[in-house]
Structure 1
Amino acid sequence: MRSTDYYLPAAALTIAFAAKLPSLRHNWRDPLVRCVCFLVFTAAICFFFAAPPTITAVNRITGVPNFSGPLVYVIMGSFSCACLVLVVNWRGGPEDRVRRSSRTWLALYAVVITALPVLFALGDAPEERLRDLDTYYATTPYIREMIITYLGAHLVSAVVTTSMCLRWARAVTGWLRAGLIVLVAGFGLNLAFAVTKLSAVVARWTGRDWDHLSTTVAPPIVALGGFVVTCGFLLPLVGPRLGALAGGWTTYLRLGRLWKLLNSTRGGTDTAFHSAIPWWADADMRLTVRETGIHDALLRLHPRLDDGVRRRALDAAPAAARPETANAVAVAAMIRHAAEAPEPGGDPAPEPRGDHDGAGADALAEFLGPGRRRLLLLSKVLTSSAVNAALSVAPEPPARPESRSAS
């Protein structure tokens, strides 16, 4: 792997950790928040310290050949422990059981993390190995035990967390289920890494040379696995926000058809009001402005709404049409008929006559109801063939009388 294959994920995870710091500051008593932040942090520094240039620099600074080996193993052990504790707290349950399980895993991995540097100090690894420390010292006393200890801890974490997430994913839905599925994939990669490394080490014990499994196959697997696991934990946290953001923009665009029609008519929205929105405004602000402008334009259009057009369009609707859809087509035909009618001469607001008696405005208000679901439906059918057909059966608005020349 190239150095950038380590440093780019480290940079991305550092940014994610920085983004979570405000949440940690405001909810530092929450064990779930602490676990998420610690996991992202350990993943970031694990990528950083596992990069060959960093390994060389650390060995040179400390003056101890292969000092980076136990350092990276300790960080990986911390990451494995964070995964277990986070899943335990994330899944929840009786508080005593959650606390007991968390403390058990913390105690076990504290022993593992403490044993790693002790075993390294007891062993003898004088020759610096940047990429093949595991296999090169696979038969060296104490160094061998250190390698097996960290791989065993990693293997246990991967198996337990994969099993827990699989069982949990069957019982939940939505973003949480998506995050668990991603976690299963990430923990599966971690499991593959541990098995690959162990295979190469065991091969050394039997006199075989499978070093390529440790030096070529395993590193990209664990790199991808760590990144996927972190994304899996973050997905249920950021997913709802991303979904709300996407939903806001989608709704904003879906209302565009109705906005365009009303904005291009005499009774339309205030263009200056819309253009006053700053370019950096988010979807919620833009959606609020657009929705408010549409309601204002519909309110100004009330005197021109002809309920007769709506009734004739409703009568012409196919028998197989759903009642809500048929009503939406009828109301849309009434709005288009009012918006596209030629302006009456002279008076800015003509007196209602005939079907312009307020019944159309009442029908519009009754159809829209609370929320914006009906407004979206109205915008959807506004230019549909059903509305065009409905308008074709409605009589054209009366033509303006021509002025007579003085005789």
Structure 2
Amino acid sequence: MADELLVAKQRFELPELRLTGGGTLRDVAVGFETYGALNAARDNAILVCHYFSGTSHAAGRYRPDDPLPGYWDAIIGPGKAVDTDRYFVIASDTLTNLNAYDPDVVTTGPASRDPATGRPYGLAFPAVAIADFVRVQKALVESFGINRLRAVMGPSMGGLQTFEWAASYPDAMERIIPAIAAPNFNGWLTGWLSMWAQPIKLDPAWRGGAYYDHAPPSAGLEAAMRIMTLHALHSDWTDSAGGRAVADGADPTDVASAPFAIDKTLEDAVRLRAPMADANHMLYLARANQTYVPGAGGGATSVAEGLARIKAPALMIYAPDDLVFLPEWVEATAKTLSGQGVAVETAKLSGPYGHYNGIVRIAEAGKRIADFLARDF
């Protein structure tokens, strides 16, 4: 741990944010962290955007005894693919971050107090778009005096934010590295996101979103997170999680129980994370993903219109076994961008984790990322 990258969460505030869908959100705050140093020319900055259930904790540890580092620590740090001896890396929490009760997360969302009433917003919080996440990020980046980023990158929902940056602010970055993401998804993913959200709405404790003075809808939220987790993993992963085996001591004839090893694995995976999460925040995140259009922050009204605005060279990283952002969507996006003259490269990740290969196996693309960042375009 002696050479461990130690980082601190910082806070960024905006007095107001004009939302893509109309209206204004006041007293906006998000957390962020940085790695490396900004050079005198302010041209070595890279923005990293996080995935649906993630946070700005992309690398390093907050404390030496933290059990795990940030999610992309394998590629961010001194001498790594995103070399913090060379680049200044910024990562920020999104609005409506799922982990609203994590002490290392700062996020404005439904669980926040409305400055006009002093009470949690609940469903009175305005609908937000991924373009709004990016508007906050752009203000954060500009607060450092940075006018043009070396790169924007991120996995999954972070990849959607990357495409939004490239479509709404095409001159604000030199290149993009979206991972395990594609902007041209169809109703398959829209339906899955509704499935993720449904257990929350079916939990009586949800109370139509007005649960902040009562016990939260924990059962619904945990069920939602189990569905999300299983969807993001490939079937090959289940072989290491018990396969079809019955859990120790369980009775497979008891139809009222969840007696299989895979059930316990998913429950264990969610149990520690769920207390940090907020159910309404998950609903808002799901809707922001479902309504995503690249370039919405710049006025685009369709995926085709948004993609047509992108001109930054792209390295698109994907997992062929991804069941969230299907590989054919990624390949189609790459073909579209290439057809309009954008320099596009693709890199594949292997492994049994499906969509999660973009987190746990990202080091496979490390050399491609390092070379892409270092190249002059």
Return the TM-score normalized by structure 1.
0.23
Name which one, 1 or 2, has greater alpha-carbon Rg: 1
Q: Which has the higher helix share?
A: 1
Return the TM-score normalized by structure 2.
0.25
Q: Which has the higher strand share?
A: 2
